[in-house]
Amino acid sequence: MSQCIVDQYSAMEVYSEVTPGKLIGKVDGKLTLGETIADNGGLKSAYRAYKELLKTKPSQYTEETGDKMFFVSFAHSWCSKATDARLQARLLNEHPPNKCRVNGAIQNSDVFARTFKCAPNTPMNPAKKCYLWE
């Protein structure tokens, strides 16, 4: 199933965060595989831990609002603005650009798609998701 992750991330185009529309390049899914597996597994594990915590410490929010806040917090933890040179450097090492790390992991999350009511077969709820483990 790791080939699914390689293919998913290799299809990701990286655009300049400074010059709109300027293509910097594509992610190397093989090079980044270890990190992207960790990102996907980390998101799933963190969500499970969050749900376990709620069993002992009830939230003041509805389940839907709490889940939305969980995913927004995940994305926010990777929030940054990179120069073109920084993005080019990221395409040459095992750490993909932050936007790809976030989008790739949440594209593989059924919970994210359900929480945000993403229509089927859209970029954030693709028909083909990569599951490494349940």
Ordered by start, the domain boundaries in the chain are 2-115
List residues bridging with 25 in a β-sheet: 14
CA distance 117 to 10: 26
Give 21-38 pLDDT, tens digit per residue. 999 999 999 999 999 999
Give 97-126 pLDDT, tens digit per residue. 999 999 999 999 999 999 999 999 999 999
Of 16, 39, 29, 6, the closest CA to residue 106 belongs to 39
Task: Report pTM.
Answer: 0.90
- 2-115 CATH: 3.40.390.10
Instruction: Check whether 60 has a pLDDT greater than 90.
Output: no
Say if CB 43 and CB 109 are below 8 A apart: yes
